[in-house]
Amino acid sequence: MVAEPFMEDPNFKRTVIVLAQHNEEDGSFGFVLTRQAPLALENVIDGFDGFEAPLYIGGPVAIDTLHYLHSVGELLPGSVEVVPGLYWGGNFDILQQLVHDGKVRPEQFKFFLGYSGWDAGQLEEEMEDDSWIVHPAKARYVFKTESMSLWKKVLQEKGGDYAMMVNFPENPILN
């Protein structure tokens, strides 16, 4: 999901969110891909010294929790495939062992403090209000696209009127 250009909420202004889970009964759960944290992973959790994977603010909910997206799939039992080549979570003890043994690389992961969540029906309401632009998630957005340019990149890729939105000022009064 891509935030519309004039979204006011500072948690989501000009962000791209990958939904890891969405259903009508439980709501939606995802991670902001465009808000890098001012901390290193090794500053927030033990056992990752020297593993320089990016750490992001996943959203405003439960910012004292750690989540991760990755591309290692079945190497990490219990992970859930979000889209081809993109997985969420998995056995944390095995992850730490894989890191310790050097069997995974930092560029295969993005770690998140907190998450973005919506109650059942809440995200649908926001969609009806045109707060979000829907675009298919792709693993390359998570692992191969610079997070600061991701919002613009996704809109340009959508093309048409969306591509023009990248030139809209953040504050329309300044136009």
User: pLDDT value at position 142?
Assistant: 92
User: pLDDT value at position 87?
Assistant: 97
**Helix, strand or coil, per DSSP, at residue 54:** coil
Q: Which domains does the chain have, with CATH numbers?
A: 2-174 (3.40.1740.10)
Q: What is the mean pLDDT of residues 52-61?
A: 94
d(CA 59, CA 81): 20
Q: How confident is the model at residue 174 (pLDDT cuts 50, 70, 90)?
A: low
Q: How confident is the model at residue 145 (pLDDT cuts 50, 70, 90)?
A: confident
User: pLDDT value at position 103?
Assistant: 96
pLDDT in tens, 1-39: 999 988 889 999 999 999 999 888 889 999 999 999 998
What lies within 8 Å, CB to CB, of 149 at 6+ separation is: none
pLDDT in tens, 74-131: 899 999 999 999 999 999 999 999 999 999 999 999 999 999 999 998 999 999 999 9
**Helix, strand or coil, per DSSP, at residue 64:** strand
User: pLDDT value at position 77?
Assistant: 97
| C-alpha pair distances (Å), 77 with each of 16, 81, 109 | 27, 11, 15
User: pLDDT value at position 23?
Assistant: 86
User: pLDDT value at position 58?
Assistant: 97
pLDDT in tens, 153-165: 999 999 888 888 8
Residue 173 has pLDDT above 80, yes or no: no
What lies within 8 Å, CB to CB, of 104 at 6+ separation is: 70, 72, 75, 95, 98
* CA dihedral of residues 168, 170, 157, 132 (deg, nearest 10): -110
Place of tokens 């939904």: 19
What lies within 8 Å, CB to CB, of 61 at 6+ separation is: 114, 115, 116, 117
Q: pTM here?
A: 0.91
